[in-house]
Each structure stands twice: as C-alpha cells, then as structure tokens.
Amino acid sequence: MDNNMIMVVSASDFTLVVNVPDIPLHRTWKKRGAKFPIDRKALIQAYYDPSVEALFREGMLTTNDVEFLKEVGLMEEDGTAHVVVLTEALLTRLIKTMPVAEVKMELSKLSHSQLEELADYAVEHYTELQMDRIDLLSKATGKNIMKAIEHYRKAQEV
C-alpha cells in the first residue's frame, strides 16, 4: 500500500459508517476486522468531523498508521496510545481469565460504547462468565447483566 493510503479497521461488532459528503468520503464497515484503505488527506480532513473523531476516540475504528495517530492526538510522541482497542482476545480475557483487580482497571479505561459492547459479548458468552465479573459489568454499564443473560437464554430456547 502506498504512503498516501491509511488502512482503517473496524474494532467493533456493530456496523460503522463514515459519511462526510464535503470530502467526499463514504465507507461502511459491517463487522469487526473489516478494513478499507482511505486516502491520508481525506482521512485527516474527515477526522475533524465530530462523528468520525468519536469513532476513533471511542476505539471503534483504528489504524496501525502511527503518524496519523500522532497527528490527530490519539498517540503521544513516545508511542503511548490514548485509546483501548477491543479485540476478540481482549474481550475473552476480560470475561474469562483476567484477574478481577485488572478487570476493574481495564473497565475504567473503556468508553461507554466499548462497555456496552463488552456487556453484549459477556451476555452471549455467559457460560464463561463468573459472578464477580457480572457484578463489575453491571456497575460499569448500569445494566442488569443477570437479567440480560436470562433474556438471552430464553431467546435461545425458542
């Protein structure tokens, strides 16, 4: 890929849309891991649209282009990132194997939309979920995760 293109990747299970008619730029990511190359100039212009900026700041869209991340303030010059990207491995680790103290710290770093996505993932994988994690997720999201699991199980039975 040439230097004028940046590969933008979805880090979310939700369908994500970037539509900035002034540039013009329109892309739709339908699943986690979906990728699209976008012209560097266009992406930098699009980033200053509040909805596009929010997708990157919330960790729903990401890129490995360090220069872009530094330019828009998502990464420090020393390489410290300001955004947590939820990967399938991190989601599994959070609900299954990560020590509870570490889970508490990680939850505080996640955006609201990432907490919602983690809660949805936990409900879908409830057989691997421990009670202490259910409590943590319930407090972090303000949702009754046990009730959500009950609804999910009933829907699966039908």
Q: Domain-by-domain residue ranges, the chain?
A: 5-71, 88-157
Structure confidence at residue 47 (pLDDT): 92
Average pLDDT of the chain, as a whole number? 88
Structure confidence at residue 80 (pLDDT): 75
Whether the pLDDT of residue 75 is over 70: the answer is: yes
Copy the structure tokens of residue 133: 């994690």
Structure confidence at residue 9 (pLDDT): 94
Nearest to 83 by CA among 44, 103, 54, 104: 54
pLDDT band with cut points at 50, 70 and 90 for residue 95: confident
CA triple 106-148-121, angle to 5 deg: 40
- Alpha-carbon gap, residue 53 to 57, rounded angstroms: 6
pLDDT band with cut points at 50, 70 and 90 for residue 1: low
Structure confidence at residue 113 (pLDDT): 84
Copy the structure tokens of residue 86: 């939820």
pLDDT digits (tens, 9 = 90+) for 116-131: 889 998 998 887 788 8
pLDDT digits (tens, 9 = 90+) for 16-69: 999 999 888 999 999 989 999 999 999 999 999 999 999 998 889 999 888 998
Report if pTM > 0.85.
Answer: no
Structure confidence at residue 56 (pLDDT): 92
- Phi and psi based region of residue 33 (left: phi greater than 0; alpha: psi -120 to 50; beta: remaining): left
